[in-house]
Amino acid sequence: MADRLEPVFARLRRTSSDPVKSTRTAVVIGRLLGAAFTICFATGVFSHVLQDYPSWIVLPRPVSLYRVTQGLHVISGIASIPLLLAKLWTVYPRLFEWPPIRSLAGVLERLSIAVLVTASLVEVAIGLLNIFQVYVFPFPFRQTHYALGWIVFGSLIVHIAVKLPLIARYWRSGARDRPRAGAVVSRRGLVGIVGVMVGAVTVTTAGQTVDLLKPFNILGPRKQNLGPQGLPVNKTAMQAGVIAVAKSPEWALEVIAGDTTRSFDLMALRALPQTTVDLPIACVEGWSQMARWKGVRMRDLLEAAGAPAESDLKVRSLQRNGVTSRMEMPAGFSADPLTLVALELNGEVLDIDHGYPARVIAPGRPGALQTKWLARIEVVS
C-alpha cells in the first residue's frame, strides 16, 4: 500500500508546487493572517461577553465603542478570508510529503495544523453566513462561533510556538529563501495580489459601518441610510409577529417594581420629560449607523414608577420568541442619562419596524440588546 501511495504523493508534490511557495512567503502572509485573527478574536470575545448581560462590565462611553469593536470584528474577519486562502495555497504542497508520519512530534504538529485549518475554515464560513443572516447549519451560531474562536486562537498560538524558529529566521525581508527560476509571479507580486484582494473585500463591505466607505459598500448586505426613516432593519415587525398588538390602542408599557406595577400608554410616556440623543445602532452582523433618538430617559421612567433610577432591569418585548425578545440591563446603563425609552427616530414617530410604539436605545450596547416593541420593564434590584 505504501509503495502505491508514494508515487501518487510525489506526483501531487510536483503538480502543486510553485517556486513562490517558500517559507518566507508563508511567514509574510502568516503574520498578516495572525494579526487579522487576533483582532477578530479579541473583539469577538468582547461582543460575546456584552451579550451575556454582565453586571460587572458597564462601558457606556465612548458611545460608539461597540460600533467600533464590532465593526473591526467583521472587517478583520472578512479580510482574513483571502489571507487564509493564500496561506493555505503557500503551504499545502507540504501535505504531500512522504512518508507522512516520520515522528511523534510530526504527528502532533500535523494534528494541530489540521485542527487550526478545519476550525478556521468553518469559523470564517459561518461568520460570513451570519453577516447575510443565512442560517443553514444545524447548531446555534453565537455559541458555536464563540467556541470555535477559542479553538482557532488556541491552535494558532500552538502553531506559532512550534514554528517560532522558522518564523524568526524568515521574519526579515533579507532572509535567504529565494524562489526558484520559473515563477509566474514574484513573492512581492504575490503578496501584492493578496493585499489587493484584502483591500477589495474590505472596501466593498466596510461601508456598512465606516462612514467614509459608504459609497463603496457594494457587497455588504446592509446599506447606511437605507431603510425606514433612513436606518437599516434586521428584523421587521412582520417577522416578529407583533404588528397587531403593537398598533393596538390598548398598548401600554408595564413597569414592575416589587409589588407595584405602573402602566404607561403612549400619551403618558409623551407627557414625561423628553430627551433627544445621538446614538449609534450597532449589530453583531457588522453594520452600524448613528441616528437621532427622542424619548423618555430610562431613569426618569423608573422614578415615575416609584423605582430607583439606578436599578438592574429585565426587559421584555411584544415579540414572543427569539434572542431579541428579552434582555437584561445592568444598573449602570439604566441610570445613564443617554439611555432612553425611545418614541421617535430622526424627527419622526418610530416606524413599526424600528420598534413602535417604544423601544430601548442605550450607549455602548449591541443592537440585539436595544429591545424593540417594548412590553414590560421589571426592576430586579
pLDDT in tens, the chain (381 residues): 545 545 544 554 454 455 567 788 888 899 999 999 999 999 999 999 998 877 778 888 999 999 999 999 999 999 999 999 999 888 776 666 666 666 776 777 778 888 999 999 999 999 999 999 999 999 999 999 999 999 999 999 988 988 888 888 888 766 555 555 555 667 778 888 999 999 999 999 999 999 999 999 999 999 999 999 999 999 999 999 999 999 999 999 999 999 899 999 999 999 999 999 999 999 999 999 999 999 999 999 999 999 999 999 999 999 998 889 999 999 999 999 999 999 999 999 999 999 999 999 999 999 999 999 999 999 997
CB hemisphere CA count around 201 (13 angstroms): 16
Burial of 143 (0-12, 13-18, 19+ CB in 10 A): exposed
| 312 grid coordinates | 438592574
Amino acid type, 25: T
Q: Where are the alpha helices (DSSP H) in 56-186?
A: 65-91, 104-131, 141-169
CATH 3.40.30.10 fits 230-379, yes or no: no
Specify the pLDDT at position 373. 98
Q: Where in the chain is the domain with CATH 3.90.420.10?
A: 230-379
SS3 287: coil
Beta-carbon contacts of 25 under 8 Å, excluding residues fewer than 6 positions away, are 90, 179, 187, 190, 191
Q: What is the pTM of this model?
A: 0.89
Burial of 144 (0-12, 13-18, 19+ CB in 10 A): middle
